[in-house]
Structure 1
């Protein structure tokens, strides 16, 4: 079986993405997670180029990795200097990594225009830099910047440039689609040409995603002889990003039969993807192939009916191989199969001919038309299901709420007070509380009345709160009178759950979601007893 090494540049190229900012501690945490995944090379950044990268390399010297080789990244030496007195090469060596990656110009346009030097001098920069570093570290990797553009413009010179790196001792020549504009057939042609020109050399691919082809180009390069793929977790990177390793790796292993990180490590892919998103403070992309929340989510009733018989009917791989899972969604497109699947998943035994299924399906379709979205609020769905089964929860009964929101001075914070009346175990509780806004005040007032009876409600924490204005919902009057949907994600010491409310009144929609969250917490705790 062929083996391809994976070179991760999330900490350097990925960190250049818009809206992505990592501290040196963030980078250290991610580096160890990548090592756990079985990544072979981790590019830590450019030593000396900025304080964050410098702190990272200073601190990482005391860490050990069980799978990965840590790599420092930089450029060939300056045209006006020599390797011995060049500050860039000095900074790379000071990082004390066993592997150094340097990039050099392989497009003649860049040598003559960007650097403003003769083509022959550019070849000297490449050879001198690689040779100098190769005598001082275990391995030097050469990134052939803009290789594919250079190959199209001046094939002979582009190959001359990588030959110079190879003869100076570079362990691997990485062909870079720096502008991200190359097509897969062009990548294949170029890789074939360089493997013929330098049959003894090892090649890799570094693709950018400006044409939405970074993954396809990476696979095309491997198919034609490349032995290393460079990319980033979740495809993060400058402009449109880099080749997404969360797609490259499973395609190599599961589709092409090429070993990379191993099947056991492959099952950690989703966990790693989410970890990096969390550290980067970026929302995971739901529709990301393989590791996205929607990658194996099924909504149409026909699909759900089929996957219950054989998941291969609508799933190209087993979700578990990449750490993901199959999900069935509930919506106005749902059929009985969706209801039965979700009910059974939650532990409720229902048959297809049970009248509850028809009744529940009709209710769900009506509520979906009003703006409810049960595919993202499983906790609220389970409460609706219990109602349909004639098993409603009776932890407390609502009587009244009253909210006052006032602002006394122009620059002062608004003042909010909520009063709530509920019946709990035969007693009427009349409580009031202030809060940071009406929803917070209502939540605090309600809990104040309930926690005496249900002390574990103090464990609930609000994890996320989303409000969306709904267009096209039933009775939608538009503008500020439109219906809104509120989603609340709550959690306690062990679990997380999402509840929902819909109304033209944002406070009422929030109240529905809060009540569902509390009811679900109480039900969950009872169910564990």
Structure 2
């Protein structure tokens, strides 16, 4: 018996933006909608018309989108108590958004009916039925979100089911059961969903879960296995409090683990790219530990694991990384063995002979450097340069002779200023430059770029994206060793570099120097 197709409803543009620190411009939302459409998402919830000017502007612009598959949904609530649906301003606003789909939520839990809405239970049922019918009569596909369904069902199963009956009488196309507080466990959610599926065999049932108990994905999958064929969530799990059920994890689990078909099934290799795209537009750091799409999802550090994975990929990987657009990575650390080093070198494009004496020497050198404070797990660019040096293939683009950094504060009310002087040789020609900035690292970076700019104008593309400092052996106080990690980009590539020293300026200089060298190496190989 084949499994029913599951439809994916994304609420990143509405529920996701309720997450702390997450915000999208109108342009962002339009770009995301296009991406979701290309990927095969079935429903894209664009926002709540009338709640803010940005959502209204999005719906106006969304009318111009030439979507090939996805349907845009406007979100709102049932009518007010004791007010006709046609006279409810909020329902009228939903119609004015002119979306093919409207999603409205209504109260399921008697606690909310009597204490929050403060209407009689029977009036709440009329509010649900009237609102759904009004939207259906105006030609909309209606998804009814049963807010707090599982809490309401636990409290009073009879009344919770009556609210769904009201929505069905009104003509709802889908009943989305919401774990609004995000506290349901798998068993309770599965049994509640199954009861609804059995009671309403002719109406599509969906699940909308949150992650407050850390099981948002698990309960969503349980709902599908219990008979639901519509699942709501957000990409990267963005959302209020600790977030919504994460579609970036739900989707591959449905297809690769449970065998469900979806309209996006054939595009899973684009999953990681979309996840990264969302992180960039939300201005959020991408979760390295995210299942399937995280940088660490298929990363191996221990020598034995790396060796086994090289021989048989699925020995330590539950799927092939390429299925979701990810890739296998090997980390070289003080745990590294010969196999780890060879795999990492191959990944970085460096050819090392497994049986050559220099391979053992490289491993020992790496362990020595890590012991002294360097860490290459997030600094592939520094590692690539180091390997090239150790095997005699490094071709320096400049020779460093020295630098000086001055930090000055002229009065208590004035900000500090920094001045860096640097001297390098390029093709035998000395370059001596001075640059200023608010901080010493910025001044040092500017001085180096200035010194190299005439010879290497492509450095204009180089941007330092992130700067992290970690204090090692902090018991030494102000004299502790410092590790600096820098993330750089040039619009095409992103790379990490590292420096370590008991002087933070020197550690920063090492990471900056490697960043510039790596950029020049990349461009030289094109």
Q: Which residue of 2 aligns with 1:245?
A: 247
CA contact (8 A) 1:99 1:137 kept: no
Provide structure 2 residue ranges, at least 5 long, that are not aligned to the other structure.
none
Give the match for residue 291 of structure 1.
Answer: 293
Describe the shift of the 1:526–1:198 C-alpha distance in structure 2 as closer, same or farther (beyond 3 A).
closer
What do the CA deviations read for 1:336-359 (whole angstroms, capped 9, x no partner)?
111101112233332332222211
Give secondary structure in 2 for the equivalent of 1:375: coil
Aligned residue among 178, 203, 206 for 1:176? 178
The answer to whether the Cα contact below 8 Å between 1:470 and 1:483 also exists between their aligned partners in 2 is yes
Query: How far off is 1:418 after superposition?
Result: 1.9
Residue 264 of structure 2 corresponds to 262
Matched, 1:500 2:502: no
Partner residue, 2:368:
366
Query: Is 1:510 paired with 2:512?
Result: no
> 1-side partners of 2:186 and 2:173: how far apart?
25
Tell me how far apart the structure 2 counterparts of residues 340 and 311 of structure 1 sit (CA, whole Å): 16
> Once superposed, what is the RMSD of the aligned Cα atoms?
1.7
- 1:163 CA displacement: 1.0
Query: C-alpha separation between the residues in 1 aligned to 2:357 and 2:465?
Result: 36
Contact kept, 8 Å, 2:470 with 2:484, in 1: the verdict is no
Alignment of 1:273-288 (within 5 A): 273-288=275-290
Instruction: Name 1:468's counterpart in structure 2.
Output: 469
Alignment of 1:24-423 (within 5 A): 24-423=26-425
| Number of aligned positions between the proteins | 524
User: Hey, what's the Cα distance between the residues in 2 that align with 1:11 and 1:410?
Assistant: 46
Residues of 2 paired with 1:117 and 1:35: CA distance? 40
Structure 1 window deviating more from structure 2 (126-135 vs 196-205): it is 196-205
Task: Tell whether the 8 Å contact from 2:385 to 2:514 is kept in structure 1 after alignment.
Answer: yes
Superposed displacement of residue 457, structure 1: 4.8
Measure the CA separation in 1 of the matches of 2:240 and 2:211: 9
Q: C-alpha separation between the residues in 1 aligned to 2:65 and 2:433?
A: 55
Q: Distance in 2 between matches of 1:126 and 1:227?
A: 22
Q: Give the whole-Å Cα distance in 1 for the aligned partners of 2:10 and 2:158.
A: 30
Measure the CA separation in 2 of the matches of 1:278 and 1:304. Answer: 31
| TM-score using structure 1 length | 0.95
| CA separation of 1:14 and 1:365: change in aligned 2, threshold 3 A | same
Q: 1:115/1:516 Cα in 2 relative to 1: closer, same or farther (>3 Å)?
A: same
- Pair 217,382 (structure 1): closer, same or farther in 2 beyond 3 Å: same
Q: Once the 2 structures are TM-superposed, how far is the Cα of residue 477 of structure 1 from its aligned partner?
A: 4.5
The answer to whether the 8 A contact 1:459-1:493 is kept is no
Tell me, yes or no, if the aligned pair for 1:469 and 1:482 is still in contact at 8 Å.
no
Alignment of 1:435-450 (within 5 A): 435-450=437-452
Following superposition, the deviation at residue 217 of structure 1 comes to: 0.8
- Greater CA drift, 310-319 or 60-69: 60-69
Q: CA deviation at 1:428?
A: 3.6
Q: Structure 1's 207 and 25: CA in aligned 2 closer, same or farther, altered over 3 A?
A: same
Q: Is the 8 A contact 2:472 2:483 kept in 1?
A: no
- Looking at structure 2, the residues matched to 31 and 269 of structure 1 have their Cα atoms a distance apart, in angstroms, of 15
